[in-house]
């Protein structure tokens, strides 16, 4: 039987590790081709979307905030000011470490918790289990997928295996 840890923190850790792999490939690509790394980190899929750096930021922060909400905490997200590959990797590593340290029993109790998400024009209310499946995990993968898409569009040779991981 799946536990809360399996469908939240463990999914986020795997996705963040895979994102790190994709970002490392982007960094190597830039280095090998003499591309300024900031050109990749500032790239967007569309003008009205966040950059690669910000997509990576929100993948990490979204995962941490989702788990914190399940645990009954309401921390503020870190600012999205990491603008180097090294700084982004540090943020991803910190997010992974915090997710790996979560108490599975406390997380399990969060599935029944009421979670309110402030959105433009109001508040969306979820039960914890629905929050994970309908909001947190889809939002997380939106940012991870968009980061992957940006790098692909910029010419980084990535494939589905890079996205999916081992």
C-alpha distance from residue 122 to each of 75, 117, 125, 128 (Å):
19, 9, 10, 19
The pLDDT value recorded for residue 133 is: 95
Question: So what's the pLDDT on residue 64?
Answer: 96
pLDDT at position 77 is 86
Residue 36: give its domain's CATH number: 1.20.120.450
Q: Kindly report, residue by residue over 18-43, the tens digit of the pLDDT.
A: 999 999 999 999 999 999 999 999 99
Say what the pLDDT of residue 2 is: 79
By the 8 A CB rule, do 55 and 23 touch? Answer: no
CA nearest to 117, candidates 66, 50, 55: 66
pLDDT tens per residue, range 99-137? 999 999 999 999 999 999 988 889 999 999 999 999 999
pLDDT of residue 65: 96
Convert the pLDDT of each residue in 40-95 to its tens digit.
Answer: 999 999 999 999 999 999 999 999 999 999 999 977 888 899 999 999 999 999 99
Domain count, the chain: 1
- Per DSSP, the residues of 141-164 read HHHHHHHHHHHHHTT----HHHHH
Residue 157 pLDDT exceeds 80: yes
pTM, two decimals, is: 0.95
| Domain carrying residue 17 | 4-164
At residue 134, the pLDDT reads 96
Please, which residues bridge with residue 115 across strands? 126
DSSP the chain: ---HHHHTHHHHHHHHHHHHHHHHHHHHHHHHHT--HHHHHT--SSTTS--HHHHHHHHHHHHHHHHHHHTT--PPPPPS---SHHHHHHHHHHHHHHHHT--HHHHHHGGGSEEEEEETTEEEEEEHHHHIIIIIHHHHHHHHHHHHHHHHHTT----HHHHH--
To the nearest 10°, the Cα dihedral for 38, 39, 45, 46? Answer: 100
């Amino acid at each position: 039987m799946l536990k809360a840890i399996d469908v939240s923190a463990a999914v986020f850790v795997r996705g963040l590790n895979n994102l790190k792999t994709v970002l490392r490939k982007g960094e190597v690509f830039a280095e090998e081709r003499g591309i300024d790394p900031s050109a990749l980190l500032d790239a967007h899929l569309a003008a009205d979307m966040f950059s690669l750096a910000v997509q990576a930021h929100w993948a990490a922060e979204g995962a941490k905030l989702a788990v914190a909400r399940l645990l009954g905490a309401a921390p503020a997200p870190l600012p999205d000011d990491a603008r180097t590959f090294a700084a982004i990797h540090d943020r991803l590593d910190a997010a992974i470490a915090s997710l790996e340290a979560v108490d599975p029993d406390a997380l399990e109790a969060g599935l029944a918790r009421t979670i309110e998400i402030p959105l433009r024009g109001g508040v969306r209310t979820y039960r914890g289990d629905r929050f994970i499946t309908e909001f947190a995990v889809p939002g997380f993968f939106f940012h991870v997928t968009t980061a992957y898409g940006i790098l692909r569009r910029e010419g980084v040779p990535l494939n589905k295996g890079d996205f999916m991981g081992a």
